[in-house]
Structure 1
Amino acid sequence: MDEIMTIKANGLEFGYLSAGSPTGPLALLLHGFPDTPHTWRHLMPALAEAGYRVVAPYMRGYAPTSVPSDGAYQTGALASDANALHEALGGGPDSVIIGHDWGAATTYGATNAEPGRWRKAVTLALPPVSALLSGFLTYDQLKRSFYIFVFQTPLAELALNEQFLASLWRDWSPGHTEDLTPVFDAILRSPENTGAALGYYRAMLDTSRHQSAYAERQAATETPGTVPTLYLHGADDGCLAADAIGLDALPDHLPPGSRADLVPRSGHFLQVERPAEVNAAILEWLAP
C-alpha cells in the first residue's frame, strides 16, 4: 500500500497508492488540502478486506502527480480527472468514489457529470456549495476561512510553508497529532507544486472557468446529482463548523436516497481522527 504507482489519465501522470484485489470493484479515494493519499491509510485496508480494488491518487499538482500545463484547477477539471482515472483503471458501474475536502468537491462533480460510472459515493468535510451559501458568510465562519482569502494574494506563496500547514492542521483538527512529512513533500516539493495547491483556491473566484475546456464539466459540478451519497462531518471541525452547514437540511442538497451524519469527537480530518467510526459508517453505506 505504501508503494507509489503511476498511471496516465486526462493528460496527466498520477501517482497513487493501492490496496486490495485487482479484480474487485474500484474504490477511488480522493484527498483534500493540505493532505495526501496517506489520509486514507485506515480506510484502504478496510475496503480491501471488503473486496474492493482501492486506489488513492495524489490529486493534480500534488507531487508526484503532474502539474497541469494549462493551470486548470476548477472542480470541472478535478471531476474530469476522477472520471478519467475510472476509465484508465478499468472501473465498472459497480465502482464507488470517496472524497474528503477538495476530494469531496471532486466527487460531487464526477458523479454528477457521469453517474453511470459510480454505484455510490461518500463525501467528508465539505457539503455541496448550495448548502453553504448562508452559513459560510457568518462572522465566525469567515474567520475560520481566512486562508481562502490569503490564498488569492501574491503573499500566498510566501505564507504557505511547513509552519502554516501545521497550524492549519492543528486548528482544523484540535487535539490530533499527525506526521505531516508526506504533506510537506507533496505541496512544498517545488514552487510549481505549491502553486498548484494554491490554484485550487484561486480557481474558486476565476470566472473564466466557465469558458474553459472544462466548462461543461464545471456546469455539472454545480447541479444536483443522482448517485446516492453518504455525507460525514466532524462535530468539532475547525475549518468548516458543523453549525455552518445545516446538517438537518443537508439531504435536500444531496441526491435522492442520500444521508448526512455528524461524527462526534472529530475535527476536519475525521478519517484519521476517528477511523473506527468512519470506516464502519462507510462500509455500512457501501454494502450492496
Structure 2
Amino acid sequence: MRRIEAGVLSVAYRETGPAGGPVAILLHGFPYDIHACEAAAEILAEQGWRCVVPFLRGYGGTHFLSDGTPRSGQQAALGADLLALMDALRIPRAVLAGHDWGGRAACVVAALWPERVRGLVSCGTGYNIQDIARAGEPAPPEKELRYWYQYYFHTERGRAGLTRNRRELCRLIWRLWSPEWRFDDATFGRSAAAFDNPDFVEVVIHSYRHRFGGVPGDPALDGVEARLAARPAIGVPAIVLQGDADGVEGPLPAEDRAAPHFTGPYARHVLRGIGHNLPQEAPEAFARAVMAVGKEEAG
C-alpha cells in the first residue's frame, strides 16, 4: 500500500505494473473497495500497464488532512479528488475506469478536464453525472423500490443503521445488486474492512442526501457543481459496460440512453449474468475495455 497527499486527502492506493507503461486509474464504488479492481489491475499489469487503484474518500486508508474539511460525498468532490491524485502523482493523462462512485469520478474528470483523459470506461449507468436539478422527479415504481437504500439514508434512522450495521447492510446490498455473483465470506471480509474508515458513514450519508438536493455541498466545490449542472458531454474515447443482472439498474432498455452524452468514439457492451460490481465480477471484460479505449485514443 502506498500513500500520497492529494488535495484535501491523504490517499491510500495500490500500484502495479511497469512505471513507464500507459496509466490506468481504476476506481471502486459504494459499498466496495480497491479489491473490486484488483484482478483487472493484475491483468493490465501483465500487458504492460501501470495501474493505480486508490481508496475513495471515506474508505480504507484514505483520510482527510484537516478536521475542518466537509465530509462531502458529492460528485464534484469525487471528481476533484481524482484530479488532485493525478496531479500529485504527476500523471498528465490516463485511462479512467470505474463503477458506481468511481465511475462518477471518472465521468466528471472526463467531462470537465478531457485533456487529462486518454479514455473512459464507465460501468452501469454509463453517463454517471447526476442531474440534481431533476432529482425530485419520480421514477417508475420498480426503480423507486430499488432505491430503498437511498431513501433510508435520508433519515436519521438510516444514518444510525449504517453506523451500527454497516457490514450487515453492505453485505445485503452486495447480494441484492449482484444476485448471480456467488461471493464468499472471505471476499466480502476483505472489502468490508474498508468500511471501518472513521469518515465512511458521514461521506456516504452526504452523498445520498446531496444528490437529491437535500443538503448543501462543500462551498469550495460550488464552481465544479455549477459546471456539472449543465450536463456536459464527454468527448474522450469511451466504453460503457453494463451487466444485465444489475440489481440497481434493473432490466436494461434496448435503447442506449447514455449514448447521446458521448460525442467521441463510443461503444456499449452488455454482459450477461453480471451484476452491479462489474469490475470484480467480470475483470477480464473490464481490463479489455481499458485497453480498447487506450488503443482508440492512441490511434
Does TM, normalized by the shorter one, top 0.5? yes
Bigger RCO of structures 1 and 2 (CA < 8 A, at least 6 apart): 2
Question: Map of 1:82-231 to 2, 5 A cutoff?
Answer: 82-93=82-93, 95-128=94-127, 137-160=139-162, 161=165, 162-178=167-183, 179-190=187-198, 192-206=199-213, 209=216, 212-221=219-228, 222-231=231-240
Correspondence for 2:243: 234
Aligned AA (2:202): G
Measure how far apart 1:260 and its partner are. Answer: 1.6
Correspondence 1:272 to 2:295? no
Secondary structure of the 2:160 match is helix
Rate the CA distance shift 1:9–1:131 in 2: closer, same or farther, 3 A: closer
Measure how far apart 1:197 and its partner are. Answer: 2.4
Measure how far apart 1:194 and its partner are. Answer: 2.0
**Cα RMSD for the two superposed structures:** 2.4
- Aligned positions, number: 282
Aligned AA (1:223): P
Measure how far apart 1:275 and its partner are. Answer: 2.5
Rate the CA distance shift 1:206–1:283 in 2: closer, same or farther, 3 A: same
Secondary structure of the 1:248 match is coil
Correspondence for 2:293: 285
Given the two structures, how large is their TM-score scaled by the length of structure 1? 0.89
Measure how far apart 1:72 and its partner are. Answer: 2.4
Secondary structure of the 1:17 match is strand
Structure 2, unaligned runs of 5 or more: none
Secondary structure of the 1:243 match is coil
Secondary structure of the 2:20 match is coil
Measure how far apart 1:208 and its partner are. Answer: 6.3
Question: Map of 1:251-266 to 2, 5 A cutoff?
Answer: 251-266=259-274
Q: Higher mean Cα deviation, 208-217 or 155-164?
A: 208-217
Secondary structure of the 1:56 match is strand
Secondary structure of the 1:276 match is helix
Given the two structures, how large is their TM-score scaled by the length of structure 2? 0.86
Measure how far apart 1:284 and its partner are. Answer: 2.7
Percent of aligned pairs sharing the same letter: 26
Determine if contact 2:18/2:45 at 8 Å carries over to the other structure: yes
Partners of 2:160 and 2:215 lie apart in 1 by 26
Rate the CA distance shift 1:185–1:247 in 2: closer, same or farther, 3 A: farther
Partners of 2:241 and 2:188 lie apart in 1 by 23
Partners of 2:59 and 2:207 lie apart in 1 by 11
Measure how far apart 1:28 and its partner are. Answer: 1.0
Rate the CA distance shift 1:131–1:57 in 2: closer, same or farther, 3 A: closer
Secondary structure of the 1:286 match is helix
Aligned AA (1:74): Q
Correspondence for 2:75: 75
Correspondence for 1:15: 12
Determine if contact 1:234/1:242 at 8 Å carries over to the other structure: no
Determine if contact 2:70/2:218 at 8 Å carries over to the other structure: no
Measure how far apart 1:257 and its partner are. Answer: 1.8
Rate the CA distance shift 1:119–1:136 in 2: closer, same or farther, 3 A: farther
Question: Map of 1:57-68 to 2, 5 A cutoff?
Answer: 57-67=54-64
Correspondence for 1:24: 21
Determine if contact 2:35/2:280 at 8 Å carries over to the other structure: no
Aligned AA (2:43): A
